Amino acid sequence: MAEPREPQKPQEHNVPMITLSDGNRIPQVGLGVLRIDDEGVTPVVENAIAVGYRHIDGAAGYNNEAGVGRALANTGYNTGDKRADIWVTTKLRDSEQGYDSARKAFDRQLGLLQLEYVDMYMLHWPTPFDWRSGETWKAFAEFRAEGRVKTLGVCNFLPEHLDRLHEETGEYPAINQIELHPTWQQREVVAYCKEHGIAIEAYSPMARGADLNAGDGTIERIAQAHHVSPAQAILRWHIENGTIIIPKSVHAQRQKENLDLFGFALTQEEHAAIDALDGPTRAGHDPLTFTYA
Ligand SMILES: NC(=O)c1ccc[n+]([C@@H]2O[C@H](COP(=O)([O-])OP(=O)(O)OC[C@H]3O[C@@H](n4cnc5c(N)ncnc54)[C@H](OP(=O)(O)O)[C@@H]3O)[C@@H](O)[C@H]2O)c1
């Protein structure tokens, strides 16, 4: 069993940067802000910045962009050198897909965030039953040309959706943000993305908490062996896979914990034991049928 270890101080985290196909670099760990109301999200993001997060994952659909914007303004991370030191993602509502509506929505979102640009703008769901990704992408490419978005991404795209987007626009997104955790590993989507230079970003990286006791105590046992929490064992597995992760927590202590992933490593056997937990246990929605209006 490994020696007990001291938690790292924020400045020692050294979160790795992942280089994307467009040349931009994204911190491998960010904070997710789904299901936090607009008022509540401001102190949550301020605290995350204080403990060392330099990557925030938001969306129009989370109805808290103004609150995220206040946190960035209050901490000075909305302008100048500090702005350059943080990665801010937001996403377009499915109901606002389409060229004209995306242009309007994006102006509104930047205003709420009090930012001149976002690091990444994403299509939130592919909505194949109401496909408008190709025409929406034209607006996205303009935002990038205007310098108001650095990286273009998608969420929840299956290979058939990535193929279709590529046929219509000649481009693949730099990132595909998908549900990915030990009991839902989506290996075919991951393999397709690797083959096409698309980085994988895992949402619900702990299955919203459900995977913390996955595998009949497997995660717990691995965590104990390293004197870390089950959350850290799972998040470390993602890090070792090269996946970008955006765990969500409103609690300061958990935020710290979820960033403290770089002072230990899983053994090959432990890593393989988490690989072996793969199963059909989706925690969220099916991209073939779901829309997040
Ligand atoms: N693109 C999409 O369609 C999509 C869909 C879903 C999510 N997302 C993004 O992904 C982010 C993360 O996903 P998620 O929020 O669904 O799930 P998650 O990060 O896997 O899990 C969050 C849950 O785990 C708890 N938790 C966090 N850290 C913990 C720790 N160290 N120990 C024990 N429990 C802990 C949190 O509770 P507390 O907050 O009470 O600590 C919360 O209930 C979202 O916030 C959002 O930004 C994107």
Straight-line distance from the first to the last Cα atom of the chain, in angstroms, rounded to the nearest whole number: 49
Q: Is-catalytic flag, 172?
A: no
Ligand 1 atom at shortest distance from the alpha carbon of 58: 47
Q: Which CATH class is domain 21-213+242-252?
A: alpha beta
Q: Which of 2-6, 65-69, 120-124, 229-233 has the lowest mean pLDDT?
A: 2-6
pLDDT at 10: 45
pLDDT digits (tens, 9 = 90+) for 12-31: 458 999 999 999 999 999 99
Q: Tell how far the Cα of 111 is from the centroid of ligand 1, in angstroms.
A: 26
pLDDT at 45: 98
Average pLDDT score over residue span 206-228:
97
Q: Is the dihedral of CA 223, 218, 262, 52 positive or negative?
A: negative
Does residue 8 surpass a pLDDT of 70?
no
pLDDT at 293: 77
pLDDT digits (tens, 9 = 90+) for 71-80: 999 999 999 9
- Does 109 contact ligand 1 (Cβ within 6 A)? no
C-alpha to C-alpha distance for 109 and 118, rounded to whole angstroms: 10
C-alpha to C-alpha distance for 235 and 150, rounded to whole angstroms: 26
Structure tokens at 127: 């909505």
- Does 254 contact ligand 1 (Cβ within 6 A)? yes
- What pTM did the predictor assign? 0.96
Which residues lie closer than 8 Å to 255 by C-beta, 6 or more apart? 31, 47, 48, 51, 53, 249
Does residue 9 surpass a pLDDT of 70?
no
Pocket test of ligand 1: the residue of 29, 31, 33, 34 to mutate, having most ligand atoms within 8 Å of its CB, is 34
Average pLDDT score over residue span 45-56:
98
pLDDT digits (tens, 9 = 90+) for 140-177: 999 999 999 999 999 999 999 999 999 999 999 999 99
pLDDT at 179: 98
Q: Is the dihedral of CA 45, 72, 284, 246 positive or negative?
A: negative
C-alpha to C-alpha distance for 149 and 147, rounded to whole angstroms: 6
Q: Tell how far the Cα of 21 is from the centroid of ligand 1, in angstroms.
A: 26
Mean predicted lDDT score pLDDT of the chain: 96
Looking only at Cα atoms, what is the longest distance across the chain? Answer: 59
161 among annotated binding-site residues:
no
Give the residue, by CA position, lying nearest to ligand 1 atom 48. Answer: 203
How far is Cα of residue 248 from the mean position of the Cα atoms in its chain?
Answer: 10
pLDDT at 292: 85
> What are the boundaries of each domain within the chain?
21-213+242-252
